[in-house]
């Protein structure tokens, strides 16, 4: 892989413009920048991911393609029909990530799984009480998010990384950042629920959307790094 990751740099620029557009309510600017984010990461996978197994490459690119559709649909997150359709696209992406981690031998850990299950049940109950029209599809999406995030948090994916509370701490090994990526994705999508239910003013909706997009972009930056997927090493467990 080259030292100059041009497409990942382009992704960071597109993400910065997207966050700025969300914070300031410039929807037209979002339509320019946001649809570029995942294709730029996909271009990085194509140009830098020479060590990927063919199946992993296809799954990763397919996941980023599904995320692109979701990104476009969620440029207007206050439209419930687009919100549900976007969640469906991201469910495809999360399923792809789950397949990638599972192929490497990642397995759920109790200390990681239980808090995610509790958070999922809490979000499901809140949605059912406050937004029944979107409760079922968003709860179903939350299940795919939880599975992907749980597997990404398996410390065995980066066996040489330092750990804290059963999770890898981000370090020089790109695989050590997977747990952080999964956590950021969970935070981002949890904030979508809170924004949908509790953000009442235009200002709070814009600011919440900016935070959502910031955490989402950071998560994708870590999870879609081809260096994470370059070696098709299957974890051996006793």
Residue 47 scores a pLDDT above 80? yes
Stretch 15-24: mean pLDDT? 98
Please report which residue ranges of the chain form alpha helices under DSSP H: 6-24, 27-33, 37-48, 54-73, 80-103, 110-130, 132-152, 178-198, 202-223, 226-229
Alpha carbon separation from 57 to 86, 104, 162, 198 (Å, rounded):
23, 14, 28, 39
Torsion 20-26-27-33 (CA) sign? negative
Has residue 5 got a pLDDT over 90? no
- Do residues 168 and 158 lie in contact, with contact meaning Cβ atoms separated by under 8 Å? yes
Which residue do the tokens 């600017």 mark? 29
pLDDT digits (tens, 9 = 90+) for 67-113: 999 999 999 988 999 999 999 999 999 999 999 999 999 999 998 89
The tokens for 99 are 């397949």
The mean pLDDT of 27-40, rounded to a whole number, is: 97
Residue 238's pLDDT band, with cuts at 50, 70 and 90, is very low
Q: Examine the pLDDT at 177 and tell me if it is beyond 60.
A: yes
pLDDT value at position 231?
64
Please give the span between the terminal C-alpha atoms of the chain, in angstroms, as a whole number.
33
Give the distance, in angstroms, between the CA of residue 20 and the centroid of all CA atoms in the same chain: 19
Q: How far apart are CA 97 and CA 144, in angstroms?
A: 10
Phi, psi of 164 (to 5 degrees): -145, 130
Indicate if the pLDDT at residue 232 is higher than 70. Answer: no
Q: What is the mean pLDDT of the chain?
A: 93
Which is more confident, 41 or 237?
41
Which percentage of the chain shows pLDDT scores above 90?
A: 87
Backbone angles phi and psi of 168, in degrees to 5: -70, 140
Q: Could you read off the pLDDT of 127-154 as tens digits, one per residue?
A: 999 999 999 999 999 999 999 999 999 9
Residue 164 forms beta bridges with which residues?
167
Q: For residue 62, is pLDDT > 80? A: yes
What is the pLDDT, as a whole number, of residue 111?
87
The pLDDT of residue 50: 86
């Amino acid at each position: 892989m080259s030292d100059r990751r041009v497409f990942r740099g382009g992704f960071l620029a597109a993400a910065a413009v997207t966050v700025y557009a969300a914070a300031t309510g410039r929807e037209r600017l979002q339509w320019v920048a946001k649809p570029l984010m995942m294709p730029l990461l996909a271009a990085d996978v194509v140009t830098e991911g020479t060590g990927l197994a063919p199946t992993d490459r296809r799954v990763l690119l397919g996941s980023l393609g599904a995320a692109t559709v979701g990104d476009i649909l969620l440029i207007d997150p206050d439209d419930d029909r687009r919100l549900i359709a976007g969640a469906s696209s991201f469910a495809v992406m999360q399923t792809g990530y789950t397949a990638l981690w599972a192929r490497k031998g990642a397995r759920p850990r109790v200390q990681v799984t239980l808090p995610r299950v509790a958070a999922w049940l809490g979000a499901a109950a809140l949605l059912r009480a406050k937004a029944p029209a979107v409760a079922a599809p968003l709860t179903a999406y939350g299940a795919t998010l939880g599975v992907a995030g749980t597997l990404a948090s398996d410390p065995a994916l980066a066996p040489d990384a330092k750990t804290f509370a059963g999770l890898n701490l981000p370090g020089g090994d790109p695989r050590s950042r997977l747990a952080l990526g999964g956590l950021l994705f969970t935070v981002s999508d949890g904030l979508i629920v809170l924004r949908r239910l509790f953000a009442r003013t235009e200002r709070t909706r814009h600011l919440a959307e900016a935070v959502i997009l910031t955490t989402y972009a950071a998560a994708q930056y870590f999870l879609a790094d081809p260096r994470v997927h370059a070696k098709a090493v299957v974890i051996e467990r006793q």
